[in-house]
Amino acid sequence: QFHVQESGPGLVKPSETLSLLCTVSGAPMNTVGYYWAWIRQSPGRGLEWIGSIHYTETTYYKSALESRVTISMDTSKNSFSLKLTSVTAADAATYYCATMASRDLGFDPWGQGILVSVSS
């Protein structure tokens, strides 16, 4: 069973790049079939899928964020990362990483989440 945990700065300045890391434990993250995802929740709003990376390193991004998002994986460190450029106040949110064994099986488990504020 996988366990995932987010880490990174809790404060980012406007126009700068938000960088978060998700550390995976319990099994190799290049296990066949698995997807690794970033999902966020802005204050007072619902869950928003940001993007995912497949174990083949194929990436999928939400179209509205695609120009600013990069998700990559480092199998040697069993981790994957999120980079979101040119952040604004609208990017302030709790960011979750999660995994999915296949598209039909749902995101499970999720990390505890990391709150990221955007302010100068």
90 sits in which H/E element: none
Query: What's the CA gap between 21 and 83, in Å, rounded?
Result: 9
Position 63 contacts other proteins (CB under 8 A): yes
Task: List Cβ neighbours of 8 (8 Å cut-off, separation of 6 or more).
Answer: 18, 19, 20, 21, 114, 116
Query: What's the CA gap between 118 and 95, in Å, rounded?
Result: 13
**Segment contacting other proteins by CB under 8 A, of 8-16, 17-25, 54-62, 76-84:** 54-62
Residues 81-100 that bind other proteins (CB under 8 A): 96, 98
Rounded least distance, CB 98 to other proteins, Å: 8
Position 55 contacts other proteins (CB under 8 A): no
Position 48 contacts other proteins (CB under 8 A): yes
Given 33, 47, 56, 75, the residue binding other proteins (CB under 8 A): 47
